[in-house]
Amino acid sequence: MSNATPGPILEARDLVKKFGDFVAVKGVSFAIERGESFGFLGPNGAGKTSTMRMISAVSKPTSGSLSILGLNPLTDGPEIRGRLGVVPQEDTLELELSVRLNLEMFGRYFDIPRQVLRERANELLEFTQLAERANDKVDDLSGGMKRRLTIARALMNQPELLILDEPTTGLDPQARHLLWERLYRLKREGVTLIITTHYMDEAEQLCDRLVVMDHGSIVAEGPPRDLIAQHSTREVVELRFDVESHDDVDLPLSNFAQRVEVLPDRILLYVDEGDNTLRELHTAGIVPASALVRRSSLEDVFLRLTGRTLVD
Partner 1 sequence: MSLSPTVKAGAPAWLRSWHYHATYYAQTWRGSLASNILFPIFFLASLGVGVGHLVTAHTGVVQGQTYLHFIAPSILATTTMQLGEGESLWPVLAAVKWIRSYHAAAATPLEPEDILFGKLSWVVTRAFVTGIIYTIVIGSFGALESWWSLTLPFIGALIALAFSAPLVAFAARSQSDAPFSVIYRFAFVPMFLFSATFYPISAYPDYLRPLVQLVPLYHGVALARAAAYGNASIGPVLCHVAVLAVMAALGIAWGRRTMRRRLVD
Burial of 134 (0-12, 13-18, 19+ CB in 10 A): middle
Q: Which of 13, 108, 282, 295 binds partner 1 (CB under 8 A)?
A: 108
Task: Tell me how far, at minimum, the Cβ of 97 lies from partner 1, in Å.
Answer: 6
The residue (of 94 and 172) whose beta carbon lies closer to partner 1 is 94
Q: Which of 6, 113, 252, 264 binds partner 1 (CB under 8 A)?
A: 113
Task: Tell me how far, at minimum, the Cβ of 85 lies from partner 1, in Å.
Answer: 9
The residue (of 96 and 244) whose beta carbon lies closer to partner 1 is 96
DSSP string, 108-149: HTTT--HHHHHHHHHHHHHHTT-GGGTTSBGGGS-HHHHHHH
Q: Where are the alpha helices (DSSP H) in 172-256?
A: 173-188, 200-206, 224-231
Q: Backbone phi, then psi, for 49, in 5-degree steps?
A: -65, -40
The residue (of 103 and 281) whose beta carbon lies closer to partner 1 is 103
- CB count, 10 Å around CB of 309? 14
Q: How far is CA 36 from CA 160, 195, 196, 223, 280, in A?
A: 11, 11, 14, 11, 44
Q: What's the longest Cα–Cα distance across the chain?
A: 74
Q: Which of residues 18-47 bind partner 1 (CB under 8 A)?
A: 19
Task: Tell me how far, at minimum, the Cβ of 53 lies from partner 1, in Å.
Answer: 8
The residue (of 120 and 148) whose beta carbon lies closer to partner 1 is 120
127 near 156, Cβ under 8 Å? Answer: no
**Binding of partner 1 at residue 243 (CB under 8 A)?**
no
Q: Which of residues 176-205 bind partner 1 (CB under 8 A)?
A: 189
Task: Tell me how far, at minimum, the Cβ of 73 lies from partner 1, in Å.
Answer: 11
The residue (of 189 and 248) whose beta carbon lies closer to partner 1 is 189
The residue (of 24 and 218) whose beta carbon lies closer to partner 1 is 24
Q: What share of the chain is helix, strand, coil (3-state, %, to 5)?
A: 40, 25, 35
Cα 291 from Cα 271, distance rounded (Å): 14
How many residues at the interface with partner 1, by CB under 8 A? 43
Task: Tell me how far, at minimum, the Cβ of 82 lies from partner 1, in Å.
Answer: 4
- What is the C-alpha radius of gyration for the chain, rounded to an integer number of angstroms? 22
**Binding of partner 1 at residue 276 (CB under 8 A)?**
no
**Binding of partner 1 at residue 158 (CB under 8 A)?**
yes
**Binding of partner 1 at residue 143 (CB under 8 A)?**
no
Q: How many CA atoms lie within 13 A of 156 on its CB side?
A: 29
Q: Which of residues 44-103 bind partner 1 (CB under 8 A)?
A: 56, 58-60, 77-79, 81-82, 84, 86, 88, 90, 92-97, 101
Strands 37-41 and 192-197 come out as parallel
The residue (of 116 and 311) whose beta carbon lies closer to partner 1 is 116
Residues that bind partner 1 (CB under 8 A): 1, 19, 56, 58-60, 77-79, 81-82, 84, 86, 88, 90, 92-97, 101, 104-106, 108-114, 116, 119-120, 123-124, 127, 153, 155, 157-158, 189
